[in-house]
Structure 1
Amino acid sequence: MSDSDSNKLSPTAHYSEKKHIVPTERCGPLSVYVQGDLSQQDKRAIFLTVHDLGCNHTSFHDFVEHPTMAEIKERSVFIHVDVPGQEDNAPDLADDFQFPTMQMIGEDLVTVLDFLHIKYVIGLGEGAGANILLRFGMAHASRCLGLILVNVTAGKTSVMDYFKDKFRNWKLGQVGHNPTTEQYLVFHKFGHQLAQENDEVIKDREKTILDYQAKLRSAINAKNLKRYVDSFLNRKDITGVLEKNLKIDTLLLAGTKGSYGHTVQHLHTMMDKQKTQLLKIDDVGDVVNEAPEKVAQSILLFCKGQGLLTSVAMPGVERQRTFSGGESAEGPQLLRQRTMSMEEYDKPNIRRLSITAIQQKPGE
């Protein structure tokens, strides 16, 4: 097994989560999955996740189950939202159901927080889900401590618009996905790999894409997926209002080999630099699956900047040990501070603090 293989997320064997059906005003009933002990929310970091096209909440569930997320998972609760009709083996959405816009979904997410009696969350989204969370963050800044967004787009155009006209003529029936559908989604998720011709890369790429296509065909409702994609392709441009209206700390993540690298970098130039950080991860495109350790580290640094997960040690850094005599290496003052419990250390601090641990490379 190659190093890159060992980094990739493996399918989840079982689900330690509780499902809720949350009625909303414009999105209909949303399937929401709570991963963690919500009764401990005052002592935990609470994440709200929204998934990308061609998948559902299981993509983030699998990421949370990755070993590198173990300490974060232990002290957090993850609220995973499935966009309407995207659940595994979901029935067809009713013909008279008006699929919500990206803006409607973003605004209605606050209903999930109210339903579960959650005060504040950190938004964690990818692709189309990241676009939804941008809108949520602007609409409900008082309920959102910050945003961590992977491969986010805010404009109306993107590298995927090459496929836009083809998608207007989709004919998805009961039998499953039109080949053009899969081409679009494969490009959306794996476009960074399609131009690589190294033999080992080609072999890995083909297996990954085949696994992804099998998941699409076996679990994702094709007609419902088309409606999510159409909503994403018809999104309104919010780039021009971000600097003024997005008031919360935001971390943008992208891979240097990804199709979205330049898009995310350009978006960063349009945002408030005092509240926004850009992190580009080298040598990957699909950052969550190809570099989960670096994503986990970035999440932890961001949360520490918000006063969350302060007792979780950074990977490779051991917590200071106390001497047998009772004093720590840093002196008695720090030892007295450590009489607080881990849970007290982890209690959320809702002050808006800018992340300083992740620095943008010169010239980016």
Structure 2
Amino acid sequence: MEKVENKAVFLTVHDLGSNHNSIKNFVDHESMVEVKSRSVFIHVDVPGQEENAANWPTDVPYPTIQMMGEELVKVLDYLKIKLIVGLGEGAGANILVRFALTHPSRVLGLILIHCVSKGVGMMEYFKDKILNWHLQTIGVNPTAEQFLVLHKFGPEIETVENKETLIQEYTETLKKKVNPLNLRRYVEAYMNRKDITAAIETNLTSTDVMMVTGAKAIHMQAVENMFMRMSKQKTTLLKIDSVGDVLQGAPVKLAQNLLLFVKGLGYLTSVTLPGVERQRTFSGGDQAALGAGPRRRTMSMEDYDTPRIRRTSLTAVQK
């Protein structure tokens, strides 16, 4: 954590049916080498979802999605981290939004992949009921696998050329590395989530947000609906064509846009990736403040990557 104040610090939270490795694999992708070298990534495993986890104690209540969001601040306090950029997928993205709503002064920006703000719908409710029953009584069986594959890759998985490989790798991970009883608890917690749309409209107006969805993702429409309710000065929607799973299906495109987003926050301004312009392209950007001009040769790489104080101070909003 040496000189962490000069680096972009990312806090990541994973989706259902996975653990921190799902996002770590993206961070380790070759397209993220430059970003990773000048950043700090804190990967969080949701309780009981780590590899080879023991069964969650029957006498200990499993935390709600809201509790998970609120408790993330303890991770930052323990590591003495003041500000983070949240990077989450699915249920993990929902958790990060709740963290931002509860602790807005600790969040510089949010990158939300397939985030849904509404509570569970009736169709999703019954699907989850089936999933929970199978996870509880049998383990991760074919029916549960089918639901989680749909949740992960979307209904257009049949059109993907390497679908067999993707599905096999994902389901093998479920069978071997994710505790099915604990997974059921995470699914159940997510199924019982409360609608936070109104809270987002009212209280998530000072945080920069990039919402991301695959054009073939099952949650695409819900992501677009959430985007319509958010501040257009602070929020950008990135829809990636021809993919359902953004992390695995479009890592280069996601890395490029992640870098543009973080540059807009005043970090990593010296980093370049193929196809990435040196100026911010998102709405509400202040190019002069965000370092769009030419780099001064007298500045070291470390100094150049130091965040702009004027931009950083915007996160200290009143609750």
- TM-score by length of structure 2 reads 0.87
The yes-or-no answer on 1:207 pairing with 2:170 is: no
C-alpha contact (below 8 Å) 2:128/2:187 kept by paired residues: no
**Higher Cα radius of gyration:** 1
> Whose helix fraction is larger, Structure 1's or Structure 2's?
2
Q: Of 167, 178, 191, which aligns to 2:131?
A: 167
Amino acid at match of 1:169: W
The yes-or-no answer on 1:307 pairing with 2:270 is: no
User: Which residue is 2:229 aligned to?
Assistant: 270
Amino acid at match of 1:130: A
Q: Where does the alignment leave 5 or more consecutive residues of structure 1 unmatched?
A: 1-37, 320-332, 354-364
* Residue 318 (structure 1) shift: 9.4
Could you say if the C-alpha distance between residues 204 and 58 of structure 1 is closer, same or farther in structure 2, counting changes exceeding 3 Å? same
User: RMSD over aligned Cα, in angstroms?
Assistant: 2.0
* Residue 182 (structure 1) shift: 1.7
Identity, in percent, stands at 51
Q: Of 40, 48, 51, which aligns to 2:14?
A: 51
Q: Of 339, 342, 349, which aligns to 2:298?
A: 339
Counterparts of residues 16-165 of structure 1 (less than 5 Å): 38-157=1-120, 160-165=124-129
The yes-or-no answer on 1:291 pairing with 2:250 is: yes
CA distance in 2, matches of 1:305, 1:135: 23
* Residue 255 (structure 1) shift: 1.0
**3-state SS of 1:138 partner:** helix
Could you say if the C-alpha distance between residues 162 and 113 of structure 1 is closer, same or farther in structure 2, counting changes exceeding 3 Å? same
C-alpha contact (below 8 Å) 1:242/1:271 kept by paired residues: yes
Amino acid at match of 1:172: Q
User: Which residue is 2:308 aligned to?
Assistant: 349
Q: Of 234, 237, 245, which aligns to 2:203?
A: 245
1:114-141 residue CA offsets vs partner (Å, 9 max, x unmatched): 0001111000000000000010111111
Could you say if the C-alpha distance between residues 350 and 214 of structure 1 is closer, same or farther in structure 2, counting changes exceeding 3 Å? farther
Runs of 4+ in structure 1 deviating by more than 4 angstroms, as ranges, are 316-319, 350-353
CA distance in 2, matches of 1:318, 1:164: 43
1:31-65 residue CA offsets vs partner (Å, 9 max, x unmatched): xxxxxxx2121121000000000010011111111
Give the count of matched residue pairs: 296
C-alpha contact (below 8 Å) 1:160/1:187 kept by paired residues: no
Amino acid at match of 1:238: I
1:5-41 residue CA offsets vs partner (Å, 9 max, x unmatched): xxxxxxxxxxxxxxxxxxxxxxxxxxxxxxxxx2121
Could you say if the C-alpha distance between residues 110 and 171 of structure 1 is closer, same or farther in structure 2, counting changes exceeding 3 Å? closer
C-alpha contact (below 8 Å) 1:145/1:352 kept by paired residues: no
Q: Where does the alignment leave 5 or more consecutive residues of structure 2 unmatched?
A: 279-292, 313-319
* Residue 81 (structure 1) shift: 0.3
1:81-118 residue CA offsets vs partner (Å, 9 max, x unmatched): 00000000011111111111111000100000000011
CA distance in 2, matches of 1:314, 1:68: 8
Structure with the greater relative contact order (CA < 8 A, sep ≥ 6): 1 or 2? Answer: 2
C-alpha contact (below 8 Å) 1:51/1:129 kept by paired residues: yes
* Residue 351 (structure 1) shift: 4.3
